[in-house]
Amino acid sequence: MSSLNLDDFTDLIERPDGGVRRDAEARRERLAVPPGSLGRLDDLGEWLAAAQGSVPVRPVERPRVLLFAGDHGVAELGVSARPAGSAELLVRAVLEGGSPVAVLARRLGVPVRIVDMALDCDPDTLPEEVVRHRVRRGSGRIDIEDALTLEEAEAAFRAGVALADEEADSGTDLVVLGDVSVGGTTAASTLVAALCGTDASVVTGRGGLAIDDLAWMRKCAAIRDALRRARPVLGDQLQLLATVGGADLAAMTGFLLQSAVRKLPVVLDGVVVAACALVAQRIAFRAPDWWLAGHDSGEPGQAKALDRMALEPLLQQGVKVGEGTGALLALPLVQAAAALAAELPEKPEAEEKPKD
pLDDT tens sequence across 62-81 = 999 999 999 999 999 999 88
pLDDT tens sequence across 225-268 = 999 999 999 999 999 999 999 999 999 999 999 999 999 999 99
- Does 346 qualify as catalytic in the annotation? no
Domain boundaries, the chain: 8-58+341-352, 63-333
Q: Which residues pair with 180 in a beta bridge?
A: 69
User: Which pLDDT score, from 0 to 100, does residue 296 have?
Assistant: 95
Fold of 63-333: Rossmann fold (3.40.50)
The average confidence (pLDDT) of the chain is 94
For residue 352, what pLDDT band results from cuts at 50, 70 and 90? low
Average pLDDT over residues 301-327: 95
Distance between CA atoms of 245 and 302, rounded to whole angstroms?
15
CATH of domain 8-58+341-352: 1.10.1610.10
In terms of C-beta density within 10 A (0-12 exposed, 13-18 middle, 19 or more buried), how is residue 244 classed?
buried
**Selected catalytic residue, list 96, 154, 323, 346:** 323
pLDDT tens sequence across 318-340 = 898 889 999 999 999 999 999 99
The alpha carbon of residue 61 and the mean position of all alpha carbons in its chain are separated, in whole angstroms, by 20
Q: What is the DSSP letter of 59?
A: P
pLDDT tens sequence across 178-237 = 999 999 999 999 999 999 999 999 999 887 677 889 999 999 999 999 999 999 999 999
Contacts 24+ apart (CB under 8 A), 329-333: 329/104, 329/294, 329/295, 330/267, 330/292, 330/294, 330/295, 331/60, 331/63, 331/108, 331/110, 331/174, 331/176, 331/267, 331/294, 332/108, 333/41, 333/44
User: Which pLDDT score, from 0 to 100, does residue 350 have?
Assistant: 44
Query: Per-residue pLDDT for 349 more than 60?
Result: yes
Query: Per-residue pLDDT for 348 more than 90?
Result: no
